[in-house]
Structure 1
Amino acid sequence: MTDDLRIRRGGPGDAGSVLRLFDVAIAWLTTRGRTGQWGTAPASTDPARIAQAQAWASGGDLHLALLDDDVVGALVVGTATDYVPPPIEPELYVNLLLTDRAHAGLGIGARLLAYAEELARDRGLGLLRVDCYAGDDRALVGFYERCGFTPTDRFTVTRPGRPPWPGQVLARRVG
């Protein structure tokens, strides 16, 4: 992990940074034949993804990781999405976690998750949950487990004209 990493709240002008991180991640996954998570098309060309990034950037719960002045990660927290089982207690939900693959291995994702835990603690919440793509080799599930999350519910999102999307909810107690 790098000590040079800082985290700041995002704002309406940061939607482009979120889309760039998506594009980098999608390209990286595509070169490895792992297209089940987000497909192959850049997020910056998808009207639905553009609208989502703009909503996150304007919603007040976007947080960006920076090295120098470069955005190298994004975190969005809030409430659980409709396709996962509802929480059994008050929680903070990780709606998005993205990191720049050019800085892989620096612990940016883990640091953003630690920051999400700080946000939950500051809000008096004892539970942090996240969901992720659980297809292929479940590598993303393994990442969250290494960050202290425990798998809970599995789910499948059906999408018209596209293959089903296998998902995994994971939870971590806020200490």
Structure 2
Amino acid sequence: MIMSRGQHITLRPATTQDVPALLALMDSILTWLVAQGRPQQWGTVPFSRIPGFPHLFASWVSQGAITTAQRDDSCVGLLALAQAPPPHIPPELIPADALFIHTVMSARGASGRGVGQALLHEADRQARARGAPALGLDHWAGSTELDRIYDKHGFTKTGEYQNTEDGRTTRNTVRVRRLLTEPSERL
């Protein structure tokens, strides 16, 4: 269990008991995105209702790929971190052996303040502990907010790609944050 300094956020590996709360969080963020006029980012179907997704997500939890963020015993964020990027991302855009952030999300409103930052720090911590040379991620290319957030956290744009899923095509930006830039950092 990791306590984020000064923000009263507890980060810990998610358990199968957390799955309903994590799916509810994801659904609430999707609802917020649609209300903001951004259905292109994740579509409009709640994650909890996508055929097979709750089972897939529960398997990620069982494999230890999900970190949950809690504040006052409420689920306020999640980090999904994987050993490799999904196959639809062009491999030349992410260094070999980089860990990949599938998603990092936080509750909208006051309960989510500081959660995204704490989860990005946790991704960095886990990547360094595993000796990964970099962290990679992708995000919807239509969001200047995401561009600003990831720029602020040292993720450099390496390219873009288009992905078509369920008849919906999205343009995505790929970013990388290098962790081991100097030989002395490997010691």
Give TM-score, length-normalised by structure 1: 0.90
Query: Mean alpha-carbon deviation: is it higher for 65-74 or for 97-106?
Result: 97-106
Computing the radius of gyration over CA atoms, which structure comes out larger, 1 or 2? 2
SS at 1:158 equivalent? strand
Partner residue in 1 for 2:15: 11
Report the Cα offset of residue 6 of structure 1.
1.4
* Aligned-partner Cα distance in 1 for 2:28–2:136: 25
Report the Cα offset of residue 81 of structure 1.
0.8
Report the Cα offset of residue 50 of structure 1.
1.6
Q: Report how many aligned residue pairs link the two structures.
A: 173
**2:39 maps to 1:35:** yes
**2:132 maps to 1:125:** yes
> 1:1-175 to 2 correspondence within 5 Å?
2-78=6-82, 79-86=84-91, 87-103=94-110, 106-135=113-142, 137-162=143-168, 164-174=169-179
Report the Cα offset of residue 120 of structure 1.
0.6
Report the Cα offset of residue 41 of structure 1.
2.3
Structure 1 residues not aligned, in runs of 5+: none
SS at 2:89 equivalent? coil
Deviations 1:60-111 (A, max 9, x none): 1110111121110000111211111223332111111111113366221111
Task: Report which structure shows greater RCO (CA 8 Å, sep ≥6).
Answer: 1
SS at 2:42 equivalent? coil
Aligned residues: percent identity? 32
Which amino acid in structure 2 is aligned with residue 22 of structure 1? M
Report the Cα offset of residue 146 of structure 1.
1.7
Which amino acid in structure 1 is aligned with residue 177 of structure 2? R
Give TM-score, length-normalised by structure 2: 0.84
* Aligned-partner Cα distance in 1 for 2:45–2:110: 22
